[in-house]
Amino acid sequence: MPCQQLPPRDQELIQIVNAALADAFQKSQKWLACKPGCSQCCHGVFAISQLDAIRLRNGLAEFEARDPERAARLRQRALNTVARLSEDYPGDPVSGVLDEDDTDEAAKRWDDFANEEPCPVLDPETGKCELYESRPVICRTFGPAMKTDDELGHCELCYVGASDEEVAALEMHPDPNNLEAALVEELQKTTGESGETIIAFALVRG
């Protein structure tokens, strides 16, 4: 599988997010449960951008060149996931693009969808991400305290015993200038790639 072209500033986005994550870990270290082998955030599906999807596919192509046997097992897990989820997929099961319907019914359908499904990129033997360097932005930011839709949230395993004030003081700002949104728009204009998907469909349908 040949690697796909990403917008020129995509690597800048990843560097900004990684720097924010490193800063958050330095400041919140005693409150964070995140460590290799913890896979709390690797179960249950979540939406990713087309930027994330391309990074994942490129990462899989590089993985296939390094370790074709493990990559083949990963690809099979993705295929199995797609087969399990296609019937009730809240979007187009052919393209993998999620519905953009914002009705309450659509929101409930998404909230109830595949909440226990393990990520196909998660190695079931080691509990580690096999495409870690290519993981989506949401995977890089899950854990530390961060605002989403104006609400401050974090992994339920983190900040146990911390006060609301302590958590708020440690809020992470992974993309303060909204570079990701600008790059998603740029990608759509230059390639036509649009909409969100999930990891399994990104790896199989791309």
State how far the Cα of 206 lies from the Cα of 200, in Å rounded to an integer.
10
Can you tell me the distance from the alpha carbon of 142 to that of 145, in angstroms, rounded to the nearest whole number? 8
Mean of the pLDDT values across residues 18-34?
93
- Listed range (6-10, 47-51, 147-151, 193-197) with the worst mean pLDDT: 147-151
pTM for the model stands at 0.93
Percent of the chain with pLDDT over 70: 99
Question: Domain ranges in the chain?
Answer: 10-205
pLDDT confidence bin for 40, thresholds 50/70/90: confident
Is residue 21's pLDDT more than 90? yes
